[in-house]
Amino acid sequence: MKILVIHGPNLNMLGKREPEYYGSETLLDINQQLIKLAATANLEIETFQSNIEGELVSKIQEAGNAEVEDCEQSQQMKGIILNAGAYTHTSIALRDAISSIKVPVIEVHLSNIHAREDFRHTSMIAAVCKGQISGFAAKSYILALKYFIDG
Contact 134, 140 (CB under 8 A): yes
Is residue 49 classed exposed, middle or buried when 0-12, 13-18 and 19+ CB atoms within 10 A define those classes? buried
High-pLDDT (> 90) share of the chain, %: 75
Query: What pLDDT is stored for residue 85 in this prediction?
Result: 95
Assign 67 a pLDDT band (cuts: 50, 70, 90). Answer: low
Name the fold adopted by 2-150. Rossmann fold (3.40.50)
pLDDT of residue 81 exceeding 80:
yes
What length does the chain have? 151
Q: Is the dihedral of CA 104, 108, 112, 114 positive or negative?
A: negative
Contact 79, 104 (CB under 8 A): yes
Query: What pLDDT is stored for residue 125 in this prediction?
Result: 97
Neighbours of 149 (CB within 10 A): 17
Q: Model's pTM, two decimal places? A: 0.90
Using one digit for the tens of pLDDT, what is the confidence trace for 116-140? 878 778 899 999 999 999 999 999 9
Across the range 2-18, mean pLDDT stands at 92
Q: Verify whether residue 109 is a known catalytic residue.
A: yes
Tell me if residue 4 falls in helix, strand or coil.
Answer: strand
Contact 107, 123 (CB under 8 A): yes
Using one digit for the tens of pLDDT, what is the confidence trace for 42-60? 999 999 999 999 999 999 9
- Of 109, 114, 121, 141, the catalytic one is 109
Choose among 27, 44, 31: nearest CA to 85.
27
Query: What pLDDT is stored for residue 129 in this prediction?
Result: 98
In the chain, which ranges are E strands? 2-7, 44-49, 77-83, 105-109, 131-134
pLDDT of residue 66 exceeding 70:
no
Query: What pLDDT is stored for residue 108 in this prediction?
Result: 97
- Of 7, 22, 87, 141, the catalytic one is 22
Q: Verify whether residue 22 is a known catalytic residue.
A: yes
